[in-house]
A and B are shown apart, each in its own frame.
Chain A
């Protein structure tokens, strides 16, 4: 008499499911073509599929991204890998002087290891000016407003962060917060943490925007500086903000605020007009990098709705693709940007030079 072992019996539903899925796959197109909303439509999905094929044919299995943002967006790279399993993104968080020296050395010797540079405007533009970017406009780039794309295709701006008042909610109430730049000189805010406006860090980058918009003059710069604890870098002091030994960061990152708030820290964020500043970041394909085809696929993917939505959910940052909306309660990036005078990328380094001269004079 024939007997059926329990293990075999248990395997029957699995086999039925496998057979059903095989039948379905014969009558339906592949998943990539079936759901194309992630790419922003059929045409984009096909174009990205072609880029993926080209990278695979070139046997390029990774994209090495240089820059501090590559660390911040590490959770996004899992999304990329799920979409394109044959290619992984390798972040290298090198930034600042290390990045400058590494790129100087790699370009001088021709032994380039990075494929993509992901950075803020200053680092991006200074490397573009050194002719280190390989021009490339992804097939789906039309979806992104023209102002975020370099006319020559050397770089693309894909994300932003907003810098405003980040405070400890146990120590300060929204009503206690400064309303104007001049308020920051009030002794009640003594001890707020700021990096040196002369040092090229966060204070420099935010003050460039405020100075360019005519909101910040030399007298106010000096008054704010004298009222603050000037630190080498603001980054370690988010922990002090959470514990309460620091009560206010006048230009704190919204991204950091959301991360801390989600984790339960007693922190608040206020985007006070006239104080709040958006800072943008983007990417450039490095000329002569080892994986150019995979880098092109990455550039195209980063402006898809899938990547731009993941910027919100996994990167806590502001996307720039129209139609991808930030959650309720997030500051309105468009309004904040419009309240400041736009600095065209081509003019940025010149504006920065003027600001540096002004701030050195004011804080001398």
Chain B
């Protein structure tokens, strides 16, 4: 799929032509988002042309990435994505490909700095909230919403089919489809929910809160019941015409021979199957709106807050604030976010966000060869999960620095897990906070993560390295070339040497080497932990060498040092990556290049606050994407 390389003479003439065009453009432009990079012979740009121009200049550029076109554009906006990608590839030394001339580290920095400067010309006063597809309640949200709505917690959605995952999370509007089978389940669940509610005196009284009498006509009472129920279920005031249709539904059922109780049940079921309940509806801005952007209304914001932090419907206070029109106030929003984080319901953020961010869901289904790992049991599996969630919970509840996810010198264990780690003096099943042995720091050295990044019979330094790059550093390596040869393994393979030696042979291929160098060095830093996260000094008969050198010449030896080095040298990458994940979860859509200004604002805010957890949440709930809706 390689396009023919152009002779460089032609490239030079193209460049010259571009210079003329750029000079003209610069001469006429005044706007700050217009490309005005000072002297055209700026060294960063010259280096970009020199090292990238062969393949990425002019029509028919490799991968459709055409710097000529991008530089000629007076606005950055249309090319934020390609510029960001280029920046990352250059900075991570993934481009130019190994087969081409390589810039020196200093030249590389200059190219990256030039691209960064270009990106900074983006006008961040313009709102770019992005578009969220209306979200169906996922299984967790459905269960919790029902529990809050009717006061009976019995997890009807556990029988629903699994929700699909997009961008690492199961609450993404685009991916939450509604297959016909699910509609059957919704109907049946609604029937069961209403039946149980009507049979439970307490729950019934909460919903059927009035009785017809001399003061109250049956129809007025029915209206009151339905108005309250539908308003809470739809998470906004029910409209009069909607209410009227519900009343008529009851009346028709009565005419058809239903008892008053059955007839009311029919209407309650209809509410629970209505798209207004099953989806979090947000209307698009009107088609004739000049910006195509509208601020969300108070009720929509209340739902965004409650589903982000609690995975359930808004509580009384949020409804109250919404009805008073106070939720568009930034200080109120921040205050509410802090209140919600302190509420027990914020456990949802631990169970849903944290477990998906760290891919802990995989733990449930990993298998380990019992002959090689007799210590691995279902109990240990559950303990591993609990440890990591406990650390997240602690950072959240104590409002600590998010950097402690990488550097915490403490953790939470019970007796079984303590034994697994070689920590003395812990008895019983209850988890408690303990100091970690010096070899372990932060979540990456937790048994949970070391296990989900391994294979059933052995560790996989490549998977671990890839996981670190994706999940912790937010810089996933590009996928391998299609014909990548897998690692030789099994009997006989050992003759070729230790796993590290074999991997080194494997990456002798320069095309693989660029990325593997980065993945493997991270993964091997964790080789002292076996496939269930126990400490080991040897792998089979080979002693473990857990030292390495990161790009930029930073050396480390062993897992703890690796984590400390990452928290220092790659701090911004970690924070940006973590922010992207939380923003994805909060919005229910993938983060797009247009979110650049939002991410940068949050980063500054986070740094200023000493990386405190609550400040990240506050910054997210007061960001444009969280408070506005775009048509596109």
Asked if A and B bind, the verdict is no
Interface residues of A (CB under 8 A from B): none
What residues make up the interface of B, taking CB atoms closer than 8 Å to A? none
